[in-house]
Amino acid sequence: MKIGGDRTDLDCTIIEPPDVVPLYMYRCSSRFELEPMEQMLVEKEVYGLLVLDRRESFLGFLRGGNRIESVSGVTSTVPGKQRKGGQSAMRFQRLRLIAINEYYKKVADRATDVFMAEPDFFNRFKGVLIGGPTPTKDEFASGGYLHHELQKRIIGLFDVSYTNESGLSELVDNAQEALRGVGIMKEKSVMDRFLKELIKDDSASAYGEESVRKNLEIGAVDTLLLSETLRKSRLCIRCQSCDYEKEETVQVDPGKSAGGHSPPWKLS
């Protein structure tokens, strides 16, 4: 990078990849070859989520063990148990069973379209979690409605109270035992450990920016927890007139300049 006259400043940034790079490449090119590293950032574990009762169903994904992605739902045309006047009980029950069967087929077709369209399905798609009331989820799972590739990937059936988008989070919570070792459960385990440590008289935990920063500076941190809603930056503020300098943590606001300062303050 040229900085004036015939002087140049070379800036070298070293990035440690999340996994071992499994290839060696030597290529003369005008751009950086980042495709192998980009592939490492793709979520390796994907689970299908399905909640249903006889009124509605909803589908989604659990990606990377910690991110729930809602997709879409299917509504039912199954009539209630109370029949209309003039219909015999046997005839009404037969029509209701036909409607339930067609609804299950519709849900299964939607699950096939959503789950099996996932890129690299056979390697990344780890299984299906099914939630709902009994006996609906049991009827659906044992009825062979799902595509055979999804049917053999059913991890378990779990009771949930909601069969709309809210039911996906409840399904993941109720499937903790089945998802043992997945990232979202690891996060909950770490949080439980932190909270238990926090109430001890000789607590080995700390919270708050100042306390955590001091422990980081002396190398006394084993596990660092950061909220995903954290939107702050650490700024070095220097006065252009007297070279006065200080560091400050500010809330990031996309609509304003960093720290909201204006000259003569210089941010570096």
- Note the pLDDT tens digit of each residue in 90-107: 888 888 899 999 999 999
Q: Where are the domains of the chain?
A: 46-187, 232-267
Report the percentage of the chain scoring pLDDT > 70. 85
How far apart CA 261 and CA 11 sit, in angstroms, is 28
Any idea which residue has 């299964």 for tokens?
A: 108
Lowest-pLDDT range of 42-46, 57-61, 120-124: 42-46
Mean of the pLDDT values across residues 174-197? 80
Question: Is the predicted pLDDT of residue 146 greater than 50, yes or no?
Answer: yes
> For residue 181, what pLDDT is reported?
61
How far apart CA 184 and CA 191 sit, in angstroms, is 11
Confidence of residue 131 (pLDDT cuts 50, 70, 90): very high
> For residue 58, what pLDDT is reported?
97
How far apart CA 183 and CA 226 sit, in angstroms, is 15
Mean of the pLDDT values across residues 248-252? 83
Question: Is the predicted pLDDT of residue 261 greater than 50, yes or no?
Answer: no
pTM as predicted: 0.58
Question: Is the predicted pLDDT of residue 244 greater than 60, yes or no?
Answer: yes
How far apart CA 132 and CA 73 sit, in angstroms, is 14
Confidence of residue 190 (pLDDT cuts 50, 70, 90): confident
Question: Is the predicted pLDDT of residue 120 greater than 90, yes or no?
Answer: no
- Note the CATH number of domain 46-187: 3.30.420.60
| Buried/exposed code over 230-258 (b: 16+ C-beta within 10 A; e: otherwise) | eeeeebebbeeeeeeeeeeebeeeeeeee
Q: Chain-wide mean pLDDT for the chain?
A: 83
Lowest-pLDDT range of 112-126, 148-162, 224-238: 224-238
Residue 81, CA atoms < 13 Å, CB-side half-sphere: 1
Question: Is the predicted pLDDT of residue 196 greater than 80, yes or no?
Answer: yes
> For residue 260, what pLDDT is reported?
47
Confidence of residue 132 (pLDDT cuts 50, 70, 90): very high
Confidence of residue 258 (pLDDT cuts 50, 70, 90): very low
> For residue 265, what pLDDT is reported?
46
Amino acid at position 246, single letter = K
Mean of the pLDDT values across residues 249-268? 55
- Region of 120 (left: φ > 0; alpha: ψ -120 to 50; beta: rest) is left
> For residue 202, what pLDDT is reported?
86
pLDDT in tens, 51-94: 999 999 999 999 876 789 999 999 998 887 766 555 688 888 88
Three-state secondary structure of the chain: CEEECCEECCCCCCCCCCCCCCCCCCCCCCCCCCHHHHHHCCCCCEEEEEEECCCEEEEEEEECCCEEEEEEEEECCCCCCCCCCCCCHHHHHHHHHHHHHHHHHHHHHHHHHHHCCCCCHHHHEEEEEEECCCCHHHHHHHCCCCCHHHHCCEEEEECCCCCCCHHHHHHHHHCCCCCCCCHHHHHHHHHHHHHHHHCCCCCCCCCCHHHHHHHHHCCCCCCCCCCCCCCEEEEEEEECCCCCEEEEEEECCCCCCHHHCCCCEEEC
